[in-house]
Amino acid sequence: MAFTPVPRVKNALDNRKLNLNAPCPSAPGKVSSLIWSIVANNPRLVVYTNDPNDTKDYGKISANLDMPVFYTLLAMLDKVINTEGEIKYKLENKNFIFPGGKRSEKPVVTSEIWFGKDKDGLIWISVTARDRPKIKFVFTHSDYHHFQNADGTPVSQSDVSMYVAKGYLSILENMVASLAVANYVEPPKREDTGGNKSSGGGGSYGNKPAAQEEDNDSDIPF
C-alpha cells in the first residue's frame, strides 16, 4: 500500500495575501513568492522561486528559524524601517547536514536571510542559498491598492514601503505568537549529541538539507 502523508493543518499564515511576490530574475515572466509559516513550533521563511530550471528541493529555498531568532529578525527589520539611507543586514542560518547519509561534525550554513533598505528607500528581504536564484522581495502594496495624498498625488514609493513594512511587522508579531500558543506540539525526542540541543536548526526535525556555503556580499545583486 502506498504511503499517504497526513495533510498539514493550515493556519492563518496560509493566507496568500500575506505572501511577498517579485519577478524571478532567472526566469523572465515568472513570479516568485516568499511565504511566512510556522512548522513544529518554529517560524520559517520559504521562497518558491517558480524558475523551471531551479529544481533543487522542488524550487523551494527555506530559512528555518526558532522563535527568539524570528522576533530578533523583526526587531532588526524595525531598525531598518527607521534608518535613513541605505542599510543591509545578513542572518546566517546553520544546521547539520547529512552528506552520504552521515551527519556532519558541526552545523554549516544552509541558508541566509538578507534584508535592508535600498538607495530608493525601498525596504526589502531575500532568502538565499548556494547556487539558487537571488530574489529581492520589496515591501509594497499590491497592484489592486494605491495610496494617495489628499490632493490626489500618489504617496511616494519609499513611504509606501515604510508603511507596508510596518504593517507586516504588526501582523507577524501578533499572528506568529498567537499561532505558536494555539498550535504548540511537543517536539520529538532527539539523540543527545553533547552540544546545544536547539542546534540552531529552527524546527527542522528530520530535515536533511544539502551542503551549502554562505553567500559573499559581492554576490548579492541588491
State mean pLDDT over 39-57.
96
What's the CA angle centered on 168, arms 222 and 217, to 5 degrees?
20
Q: How confident is the model at residue 93 (pLDDT cuts 50, 70, 90)?
A: very high
pLDDT at 204: 41
pLDDT digits (tens, 9 = 90+) for 196-215: 444 444 444 344 444 455 56
pLDDT digits (tens, 9 = 90+) for 112-150: 999 999 999 999 999 999 999 999 999 999 999 999 999
Whether 31 contacts 22, CB under 8 Å? yes
**Residue 165 has which C-alpha cell?**
513594512
Q: Within the chain, what is the greatest distance between any pair of CA atoms?
A: 66
Contacts of 78 (CB under 8 A, 6+ apart): 169
Q: Where are the domains of the chain?
A: 15-186
Q: How confident is the model at residue 34 (pLDDT cuts 50, 70, 90)?
A: very high
Architecture of domain 15-186: Roll (2.30)
pLDDT digits (tens, 9 = 90+) for 171-181: 999 999 999 99
State which amino acid sits at residue 221.
Answer: P
